[in-house]
């Protein structure tokens, strides 16, 4: 079975829409368009994104799509599920005046930045638009990691991460729309880009 054959219909558009929801809402938070008091509501959206991405991940892994399946799995697990739990935890602790430190975040984000960067070349064999999305993800995740590690200032890290997450969300929506429309109409409605590297 090829990496693009599915026992179910292709779940990737739903996973990409979940990713886009997470990206757009985090863009709003990181660029100061919404206050930090939105954290409990943000968490609910992150949990919704988790559901869409984990379903996509399981189906992609079953269909032997090692790159897409694994990326969806850890995006769902850490960016959405853990992110949602952390949003709720930070909000609860801060509103109740309880002391806490999020100093460990930078180290976790560093793992995610390194992992995403290492896996990005695998997407050279797929859609060039998807590969561009992975590059924007790399930049956003590195910005968060370096900001949380206090290597760069939040005035640089937060807007950089926010804007690149917005770009990733837009790319995700485009890919979701293109995948569904091109499949339904059996022709290219929205071009998704050819592979940069062909793998036999």
Whether residue 178 lies inside any domain: the answer is yes
Whether residue 6 lies inside any domain: the answer is no
Q: Is 155 exposed, middle or buried (0-12, 13-18, 19+ CB in 10 A)?
A: exposed
Q: Is 97 exposed, middle or buried (0-12, 13-18, 19+ CB in 10 A)?
A: exposed
pTM flag (> 0.85): yes
Whether residue 168 lies inside any domain: the answer is yes
Whether residue 177 lies inside any domain: the answer is yes
Whether residue 159 lies inside any domain: the answer is yes
Whether residue 200 lies inside any domain: the answer is no
Q: Residue 80's pLDDT is what?
A: 97
In whole angstroms, what is the distance from residue 129 CA to residue 195 CA?
A: 9
Whether residue 125 lies inside any domain: the answer is yes
Whether residue 198 lies inside any domain: the answer is no
Spans of the chain, pLDDT less than 70: 1-6
Angstrom distances, CA of residue 46 to CA of 39, 86, 149: 10, 10, 23
Q: Residue 168's pLDDT is what?
A: 98
Q: What is the pLDDT of residues 91-111, one digit of tens each?
A: 999 999 999 999 999 999 999
In the chain, the number of structural domains is 1
Can you give the residue range of the structural domain that contains 127? Answer: 12-185
In whole angstroms, what is the distance from residue 53 CA to residue 146 CA?
A: 26
Do 113 and 134 contact (CB within 8 A), yes or no?
no
**Residues in the chain, overall count:** 200
In whole angstroms, what is the distance from residue 192 CA to residue 2 CA?
A: 18
């Amino acid at each position: 079975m090829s990496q693009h054959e599915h026992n179910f219909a292709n779940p990737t558009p739903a996973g990409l829409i979940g990713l886009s929801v997470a990206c757009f809402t985090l863009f709003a938070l990181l660029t100061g368009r919404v206050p930090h008091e939105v954290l409990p509501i943000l968490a609910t959206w992150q949990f919704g994104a988790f559901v869409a991405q984990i379903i996509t991940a399981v189906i992609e892994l079953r269909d032997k799509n090692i790159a897409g399946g694994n990326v969806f799995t850890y995006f769902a697990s850490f960016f959405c599920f853990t992110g949602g739990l952390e949003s709720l935890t930070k909000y609860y602790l801060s509103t109740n005046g309880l002391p806490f430190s999020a100093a460990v975040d930078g180290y976790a984000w560093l793992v995610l930045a390194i992992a995403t960067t290492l896996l990005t070349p695998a997407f050279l064999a797929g859609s060039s638009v998807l590969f561009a999305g992975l590059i924007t993800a790399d930049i956003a995740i590195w910005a968060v990691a370096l900001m949380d590690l206090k290597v760069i200032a939040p005035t640089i890290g937060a807007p950089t991460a926010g804007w690149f997450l917005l770009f990733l969300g837009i790319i995700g929506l485009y890919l979701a729309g293109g995948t569904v429309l091109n499949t339904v109409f059996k022709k290219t409605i929205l071009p998704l880009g050819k592979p940069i590297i062909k793998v036999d």
